[in-house]
Amino acid sequence: MPESGAFLSHFPDKPTMTNLYDFQKIEPLKIKEKAPIIVRGHTLGWAGPSNRESNVAVTRRHRHPYSGGKQDYFRKFRGYCYGENALDVMERMGVQRIAIEEVDNGRVLEVDLVQYRQSELYAETFEIGGRNVCVPIEEMIHSWDIEDCTIIDKDGNRR
């Protein structure tokens, strides 16, 4: 079992995650995307008010390779990375949590931005985002099925 107290349970169709936070009565994420998260001229995702007492950033990521692109998941660290420049932008927007919407498996991972700031897992450095910092999925706060979350996009549509 990882140090965080979390563990993964793999099923043939979709991995699920349980951690100590799951035993609290926490409502699934509700987010209204209001403002784009722009990092060096590129839109990384959207941020807006949530049911978490702060703004939440929503980024759409690919767990697996896809046509026209490579996966966003870092197998080496078993998680997702964000550039330090992106984290700076999110903090200036009042973001405290990040919702990683895995578009290819219908899951939303919830992680605290502080976890990225405290992580010592560094991937390569990119011109657009600076040094990439990673948080393993097993250390993220919650894992939700997308159907349990309410994400309202900038046009007022529910995803």
Give residue-wise pLDDT tens across range 64-100. 767 777 777 667 768 898 999 999 999 999 999 999 9
For 23, which DSSP code? G
pLDDT for res 40:
87
Catalogue the E-assigned strands of 2-156. 7-9, 16-18, 30-32, 35-39, 42-48, 55-61, 73-74, 79-83, 95-102, 107-112, 121-126, 130-136, 142-145, 150-152
Residue type, 99: A
Q: Is the pLDDT of residue 19 over 70?
A: no
Q: What is the pLDDT of residues 105-120, one digit of tens each?
A: 999 999 999 999 998 8
The CA distance from 49 to 75, in Å, is 31
Total residues belonging to the chain = 159
pTM of the model: 0.78
